[in-house]
């Protein structure tokens, strides 16, 4: 092929690609097989995101962080709806170390709450864990509220009940209709 024809061939290829692209319908999006259903933010203009990391920064230098496999940001509602969610509470603060994992979440950026409609698992440094039904994280009040059933376990104790309120900054947990189980705790560094 003559080198003088190379630019003309490139332009012809570009025109062909543009013609095919214009001819294809624009409302079809290719989705890989086995991809999870897209999140829905609830109407109005929205931004669809792949893996996402949303942070709420505080004046004291701490932050709350939401990581998700996929998310939708709704302009009108100022919410982030996400799937495959991990929330890190109070990172950079003295009470850091609480992680919340949930299949779905909706972060209301104005109301400073994260709704967890399908329940969640909570882990806190020091060995505390929880299996919770549908819950709401009140970020402004630093409270996790679970109106339904909840189970919390820690070193030497297991508690089941309903209507849990966990104030994670103060380390205070309240629950109604509780059933408790205490077990001896072994301290590996202590003898006698």
Domain boundaries, the chain: 46-182
Of residues 166 and 36, more confidence is placed in 166
**46-182 CATH fold:** lipopolysaccharide transport protein A fold (2.60.450)
Q: Which range, 4-8, 15-19, 149-153, 183-187, is most confident? A: 149-153
Q: How confident is the model at residue 63 (pLDDT cuts 50, 70, 90)?
A: confident
Residue 173 is predicted with a pLDDT of 84
Give every CB contact of residue 99 below 8 A, 6+ residues apart in sequence: 86, 87, 88, 89, 122, 123, 124
Q: Which two tokens stand for residue 83?
A: 């799937």
SS3 58: coil
Phi, psi for 183 (deg, rounded to 5): -130, 150
DSSP H/E element including 141: none
**What pLDDT digit, counting tens, does each position of 14-36 carry?**
777 677 666 655 554 444 444 45
Greatest Cα pair distance, the chain, in angstroms, is 92
């Amino acid at each position: 092929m003559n080198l003088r024809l190379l630019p003309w061939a490139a332009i012809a290829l570009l025109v062909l690609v543009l013609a095919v692209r214009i001819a294809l319908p624009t409302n079809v999006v290719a989705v890989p097989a086995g991809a999870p259903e897209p999140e829905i933010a609830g109407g109005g203009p929205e931004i669809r995101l792949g893996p996402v990391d949303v942070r709420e920064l505080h004046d004291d230098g701490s932050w709350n962080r939401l990581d998700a496999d996929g998310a939708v940001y709704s302009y009108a509602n100022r919410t982030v709806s996400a799937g495959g969610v991990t929330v890190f509470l109070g990172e950079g603060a003295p009470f850091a170390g609480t992680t919340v994992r949930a299949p779905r979440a909706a972060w209301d950026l104005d109301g400073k709450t994260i709704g967890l409609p399908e329940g969640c698992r909570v882990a806190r440094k020091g060995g505390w864990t929880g299996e919770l039904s549908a819950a709401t994280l009140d970020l402004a009040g630093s409270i996790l509220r679970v109106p339904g059933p909840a189970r919390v376990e820690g070193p030497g104790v297991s508690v089941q009940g309903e209507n849990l309120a966990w104030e994670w900054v103060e380390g205070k947990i309240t629950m109604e209709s509780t059933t408790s189980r205490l077990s001896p705790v072994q301290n590996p560094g202590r003898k006698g």
